Amino acid sequence: METQNAVRSADGARIGYRTYGSGPGLVVVHGAMQSSASQRDLAELLATTGLAVHLLERRGRGLSDPYPSSFSTAVEVADLAAVLGATGSRMAFGISSGALIVARAAVSLGSLERIALFEPPLVIGDRRRLGRIRDHAAALDRGDVAGSMVIAMRAGEMGPSLMRAVPTPLMRAMTARMLAADTRKAHEPGEATMAELAPAIREDFAILAEQADRLDEFAAIRATTLVIDGTKTRPYLHAAVEAMAATVPGARRVSIPGVDHGATQNRDQWGKPDLVAPVLADFFAAPAPVEAANRAA
């Protein structure tokens, strides 16, 4: 059963979240082109394992206030801190850009004891990818939402390889039709349309740009850490996961067979939450090394 709640962030903004189950708290931070509703199926599965799962609604979506005009990753870290405080949670799971938010929170917040990071899109020495981020912002500034999504898909290497080979004008036209069709269809209460989610990619890309080439700073993480990828994801994401796992002290890496970057999403969004949930349940339910050592003593 879902309940909806809200808390005020450090700057007074309203931050909504959905809660499933009861027990130790786990806050889930979604990625780009997602909302708190995007991981409902995953939350329902995890709630059966004795966890209270809180799906944070990042800004720019229905349950939360808009992004401020002056944005940095610190804004999202403060929002996460507010939900952690309101729920008493000491665990967090971040997805894609949400994984970078959780990792940055683990550096700056002392409250997180255990974190899982799903395919954090670290930009490591890739200047071309950063250039596409600037192109995306320019497209949004001129009101070209479909064009901005094409740039985002190509920057993130999302979608089938064949689709990325389509000429840009044709791909933009296809994307515009897709946005219009999604806007017309029925949506669950509180579920954002693709056209509503697309502008928030600006902040996701701002996070990527801000965290680019700052990998060494994640060596300050002291939370017990699991870094996850899917075997079918893009090579640059495999490289980012490998680098993160090698940087965070004591981090463990798990690759889930047969899944890609969309694995955590709901089943009707081509996600595979049934494959992701057992990995998370094992990690968040298992005793931390220090806890095990204390019991052994």
> Residues 33, 37, 42, CA angle at the centre, nearest 5°?
105
Q: Are 259 and 231 in contact (CB under 8 A)?
A: yes
What average pLDDT is seen over the chain?
Answer: 89
Give the model confidence (pLDDT) of 125-150 as tens digits.
776 777 777 788 788 888 888 888 88
Q: Are 213 and 120 in contact (CB under 8 A)?
A: no
Give the model confidence (pLDDT) of 107-131 as tens digits.
999 899 999 999 999 988 776 777 7
- Which element (helix H / strand E) includes 80? helix 73-87
Residue 209: the pLDDT is 87
Amino acid identity at 103? A
Q: Which regions of the chain are under pLDDT 70? A: 127, 158-164, 189-190, 287-297
Which single residue is written with the structure tokens 């090698």? 246
Catalogue all structural domains in the chain, each as residue range(s) with its CATH number.
2-124+212-296 (3.40.50.1820), 127-204 (no CATH)
Characterise 287 by phi-psi region: left (phi > 0), alpha (psi -120 to 50), beta (else): beta
Rounded to the nearest angstrom, the gap between the alpha carbon of residue 224 and the centroid of all alpha carbons in its chain is 19
Residue 199: the pLDDT is 85
Q: Are 104 and 94 in contact (CB under 8 A)?
A: no
Residue 164: the pLDDT is 65
pTM: 0.90
Residue 287: the pLDDT is 65
